[in-house]
Structure 1
Amino acid sequence: MIDSTQSSQLRVAIIGAGMSGILAAIKLREDGWQHVVIYEKAARIGGTWRDNSYPGLSCDVPAHAYTYSFAPNAEWSRHMAPGPEIQAYFERMVQQHDLAPCIRFNTEVTACEWRGGAWHLATSDGALQEADVVIAATGVLHHPKYPQIPGLHSFAGQCFHSARWDHGAEIEGQRVGVIGNGSTGAQLISALAGRAAHLSHFQRTAQWILPVENPVFTEAQKQALRDDPVLLKQAQASESYLAIVDHFTRAVIDAESPELAHLQQAVEENLERSIANPVLREKLRPPYRAACKRLIVSPDYYQAIQHPQVALLNEGIECVEPEGIRTRDGVLHPLDVLVLATGFHADRFVRDMNVVGQSGLKLNEVWAERPFAYLAMSVPGFPNFFMLNGPSGPVGNFSLIDVAEAQWNYIAQLLQPLRQGRYQQISVAQAAMNDYETARIAAARKTVWATGCNSWYLDAQGVPATWPWSYAHFREVMTTPNLAHFDCA
């Protein structure tokens, strides 16, 4: 139970040592919070950038924009940083801010129950912990999704999900198949073309590709950034990048916008210009509007798919056999290695953790129809439980670090009255939640994500589950909490 005599001793439990969890810990420590523990289910920090280590992994956000605002990095090697560099950046943040003593590795939180004015956490090692505040920084894409294909387990070669890459698998000189053509699939084809003896890309639905250059930063460019903190800060928040973010968000939130028409023209021109073979070009032409699915940003996928030892197969998969994949036209495609670039369960968030709020309220039951959270952070009946990058947050083609920092600014302000002993618990009020969700769903139906394609942006009812307003509006809303929208006791 929190009271004014204990306010300086509040215990905060952070679940997840990925980008958002590290951010929360750094900010809490900077603000003088003494009792902060991060529970991490794995043996290392990193989240997405730890779990994904496949060839060709990179961020599709410019590297300088994908850094904490307080920790710009002059050492990025390319315009879009490779995954290992991003993982190293977060490891460096943990070291520089001395967070290692706060982290409980190999400790998965399996249950989280509010009772007696505190959160009671059960962990995979059998221990029971208590906390006054829980910050759920579990991420969006961390439960791999395996395809339901007949015979998948009969495959005689090596088979693994892209987020569980087998670094012992031989690629050179092998017949490799990749199922899935989202961002991961596109990056894999670009990286493996020319390495595998034959590379088969199994495509269910074509994707629009936005061309982008990915130049190497020269040593002179990096040195200039090292020498000039102002220049480095400008690189981090460049006007050109912010303009792109603004243009893109105005495109996706209004399916009839001129910005979306401009985006459609750009991806169509990229397809026409890049693919010479008219048959292949039509195989690669999506039957939906640009950005209805998450836009693929790639400097070289179209070049890789035209490699003489690469085949695009869109006949549909009939089954997997020990020797390879049989497509619906009856052809068997022999394979030695099969990679499942089939994405993640984007609706899990803090689940499969069993979260129980006030009066035995179970989050799994509350979310039976769809996951929801006020401003992607708070759910009625779950006091002092805040999510970073939770349901309905912005997850477009821009920096989730920016999103998490804006959300943290908001959450930090909610924590202050708890810390000061003014309240013992805070959670969003049901009326505010209802108003937010009604407005969000109405706005979501006008976005490009609702124009007729199947994507991980859609919930089980077919409603886009992401932030449906402008990014500028998101940043404005994150500036100051309205306590009238919260139940404070």
Structure 2
Amino acid sequence: MPADARNLRYIIIGAGMAGLLAGIRLRERGEDNFVIYEKGDSVGGTWRENTYPGVACDTPAHSYSYSFAFNPEWSAFYAPGPEIRNYFESMAERYGMHQFIQFNTEIGSCRWDGERWHVKTKDGREDVADVLVAATGVLHHPNTPAIPGLENFQGASFHSARWDHSIDYADKRVGVVGNGSTGVQIVAALSGNVQKLVHFQRSPQWIMPCPDTRYSDEDKAAFRDDPDRIEDVRSGPEAQARRGRFLAAIIDADSPELAEIQSIVEKNLEDSIRDPELREKLRPDYRAACKRMVFSPNYYEKVQDPSVYVDTSGIERVEANGVLMRDGTFHELDVLVLATGFKADAFVRPMTITGRDGVDLNQLWDVHPKAYYAVTIPDFPNFFMLNGPTGPVGNFSLIDIAERQWNYIEQLVSLLREGKYSAVAPTQAALQTYEQKRTEAAKKTVFASGCSSWYLDADGVPQVWPWPYEYFMEVMDKPKLEDYSLTPAA
């Protein structure tokens, strides 16, 4: 750090992928005046929380790695969850992050006093910083559905992110509610390994087939000897074609790319499911990619196991020993798993974050969360978000997104570090213009083509990045300072 640079104090919230990234990047600059507060007892974020059978990432493993820390040891093209958690634990060790992390520490409130951020933990401690970074993630507050009678179930019942590993499932009758990526992975893993498995589906999902590619020792050795092989998996012609097709499909519901994806998933259903009745149960009534795309190499195979039953008739209520359906069917169960997702609109909440002149973030986000290009918020100076609201989501590598966002944040922080300014925040006009443009574009995406999903706000508008990924790369390359309110240093 240059001798005349201002020694900024940073507080980072969260020690998952994004929080570790922020800490590592600060250390690479030679900065050590920061702390990472983590509510859990270890690093890893969502990969610490989710330990259910079959948990895996649906982004290729070599793409779901820091650009500066390739991992030639991945066991498969799509890495299982425990390996991903181990990767982040190894990153924390390699880059000396543990000395900066305070585990089992949840933040209760953050308040801007006109000059700095004052942070209080749930256990009563206080801290102060010049820069506040929210790396809290998107999917970490479990969503428990309001199913009538759920509290009356006398068997084991839990959210998929709170998996009970003490149970011997082999002789159990298990019900799984929900069929997003998590529900699909759990059913595929438990199929044939339990006495009975009922998959409760409110609406079927289109399933994109994907290879169950495992890396051999020879493959790993080749990756170790030649990092260009890893780079090819990350960004070679095949990766670019796959990513380009998906990006074109989601931003234009009438695109030939979406028609191609629709053809692939329809063929997967037709060719894979033998029983006509089951095939129709599993056929969605909306277009492919309207919901977050589900990738699976074996769900259609596993769901046809004799031990598995798919029920789409709708849950009437949960009773002491099972689930009663609207058509009168009753499923006796020993275990009920809620693979019902997360409160995707929570982000930093339930923390109380108070900005300039007492502005409350909860009130600002009363209709829906919003941030200027998903990173900064008016009246919240020196406050930055990684993977914040309306950032690119949906089968993208959140690591790549976070790295580009940090590059953007670093340029704004440099204005503070150099002593030119004491506070930086986008203008209200800049956020309003961004939101207007984004909302109009979002209405044309496939996410708005006629299905319910966690992407939609209360008005049915997708809260997503609606433009090409190249545009995201462009805007993250350099902040438009004319869209920012810059407070000169005293």
Aligned partner (choices 90, 93, 103) of residue 92 of structure 1: 90
1:110 aligns to what SS in structure 2? strand
Aligned partner (choices 211, 225, 243) of residue 209 of structure 2: 211
Residue 272 (structure 2) aligns with: 274
Please state how far the C-alpha of 1:477 moved relative to its aligned partner: 1.2
2:224 aligns to what SS in structure 1? helix
Alignment of 1:62-461 (within 5 A): 62-461=60-459
Q: Residues of 1 paired with 2:425 and 2:41: CA distance?
A: 32
1:383-423 residue CA offsets vs partner (Å, 9 max, x unmatched): 00000000000011121111111111111111101000000
Please state how far the C-alpha of 1:124 moved relative to its aligned partner: 1.6
Q: Does the aligned pair in 1 maintain the 2:6–2:416 contact within 8 Å?
A: no
1:338 aligns to what SS in structure 2? strand
Please state how far the C-alpha of 1:5 moved relative to its aligned partner: 9.8
Q: Residues of 1 paired with 2:215 and 2:244: CA distance?
A: 25
1:9-58 residue CA offsets vs partner (Å, 9 max, x unmatched): 21000000000000011011101222111000011111110000000000
Q: Residues of 1 paired with 2:244 and 2:412: CA distance?
A: 28
Q: Does the aligned pair in 2 maintain the 1:7–1:418 contact within 8 Å?
A: no
Moved more, 4-13 or 70-79: 4-13
Instruction: Give the letter aligned to residue 182 of structure 1.
Output: G
Note if 1:24 corresponds to 2:22.
Answer: yes
Instruction: Give the letter aligned to residue 271 of structure 1.
Output: L
1:419-472 residue CA offsets vs partner (Å, 9 max, x unmatched): 000000001111111110000000000000001100001112211001000111
Residue 46 (structure 1) aligns with: 44
Q: Residues of 2 paired with 1:115 and 1:283: CA distance?
A: 56
Moved over 6 A (4+): none
Q: Does the aligned pair in 2 maintain the 1:67–1:236 contact within 8 Å?
A: no
Q: Residues of 1 paired with 2:232 and 2:135: CA distance?
A: 28
Please state how far the C-alpha of 1:6 moved relative to its aligned partner: 8.6
Please state how far the C-alpha of 1:345 moved relative to its aligned partner: 0.5
Q: Residues of 2 paired with 1:320 and 1:349: CA distance?
A: 30
Q: Does the aligned pair in 1 maintain the 2:111–2:118 contact within 8 Å?
A: yes
1:397 aligns to what SS in structure 2? coil
Q: Residues of 2 paired with 1:252 and 1:178: CA distance?
A: 29
Q: Does the aligned pair in 2 maintain the 1:210–1:267 contact within 8 Å?
A: yes
Instruction: Give the letter aligned to residue 213 of structure 2.
Output: P
% of aligned pairs identical?
55
Give me the TM-score of the superposition, normalised by structure 1: 0.98
Alignment of 1:468-487 (within 5 A): 468-487=466-485
Q: Residues of 2 paired with 1:151 and 1:396: CA distance?
A: 33
Residue 33 (structure 1) aligns with: 31
Q: Residues of 2 paired with 1:235 and 1:203: CA distance?
A: 34
Q: Residues of 2 paired with 1:337 and 1:274: CA distance?
A: 28
Q: Residues of 2 paired with 1:6 and 1:172: CA distance?
A: 65
Q: Residues of 1 paired with 2:367 and 2:148: CA distance?
A: 29
1:9 aligns to what SS in structure 2? coil
2:169 aligns to what SS in structure 1? coil
Instruction: Give the letter aligned to residue 445 of structure 2.
Output: T
Q: Residues of 1 paired with 2:352 and 2:92: CA distance?
A: 28
Q: Does the aligned pair in 2 maintain the 1:410–1:480 contact within 8 Å?
A: yes
Q: Residues of 2 paired with 1:470 and 1:48: CA distance?
A: 27
1:317-374 residue CA offsets vs partner (Å, 9 max, x unmatched): 0000011101111121000111000000100000000000000000000011111001
What is the Cα-based RMSD across aligned positions, in Å?
Answer: 1.2
Q: Residues of 2 paired with 1:360 and 1:241: CA distance?
A: 46
Please state how far the C-alpha of 1:7 moved relative to its aligned partner: 4.7
Q: Residues of 1 paired with 2:32 and 2:178: CA distance?
A: 45
Q: Does the aligned pair in 1 maintain the 2:378–2:428 contact within 8 Å?
A: yes
Please state how far the C-alpha of 1:486 moved relative to its aligned partner: 0.6
Instruction: Give the letter aligned to residue 462 of structure 2.
Output: P
Q: Does the aligned pair in 1 maintain the 2:76–2:215 contact within 8 Å?
A: yes
Instruction: Give the letter aligned to residue 486 of structure 1.
Output: Y
Q: Residues of 2 paired with 1:235 and 1:318: CA distance?
A: 46
Q: Does the aligned pair in 1 maintain the 2:198–2:309 contact within 8 Å?
A: yes
Q: Residues of 2 paired with 1:40 and 1:356: CA distance?
A: 20
Q: Residues of 2 paired with 1:441 and 1:7: CA distance?
A: 40
Q: Does the aligned pair in 2 maintain the 1:246–1:472 contact within 8 Å?
A: no
Q: Residues of 2 paired with 1:98 and 1:455: CA distance?
A: 39
Q: Residues of 2 paired with 1:479 and 1:150: CA distance?
A: 49
Instruction: Give the letter aligned to residue 178 of structure 2.
Output: G
1:142-187 residue CA offsets vs partner (Å, 9 max, x unmatched): 1000010111011111000001111112211110000000000000
Q: Residues of 2 paired with 1:155 and 1:11: CA distance?
A: 49
Please state how far the C-alpha of 1:8 moved relative to its aligned partner: 2.9
Residue 55 (structure 1) aligns with: 53
Q: Does the aligned pair in 2 maintain the 1:8–1:33 contact within 8 Å?
A: no
Please state how far the C-alpha of 1:229 moved relative to its aligned partner: 2.7
Q: Residues of 1 paired with 2:240 and 2:404: CA distance?
A: 15
Q: Residues of 2 paired with 1:62 and 1:303: CA distance?
A: 22
1:303 aligns to what SS in structure 2? helix
1:478 aligns to what SS in structure 2? helix
Please state how far the C-alpha of 1:234 moved relative to its aligned partner: 2.8
Moved more, 236-245 or 337-346: 236-245
Instruction: Give the letter aligned to residue 6 of structure 2.
Output: S
Please state how far the C-alpha of 1:231 moved relative to its aligned partner: 2.6
Q: Does the aligned pair in 1 maintain the 2:199–2:309 contact within 8 Å?
A: yes
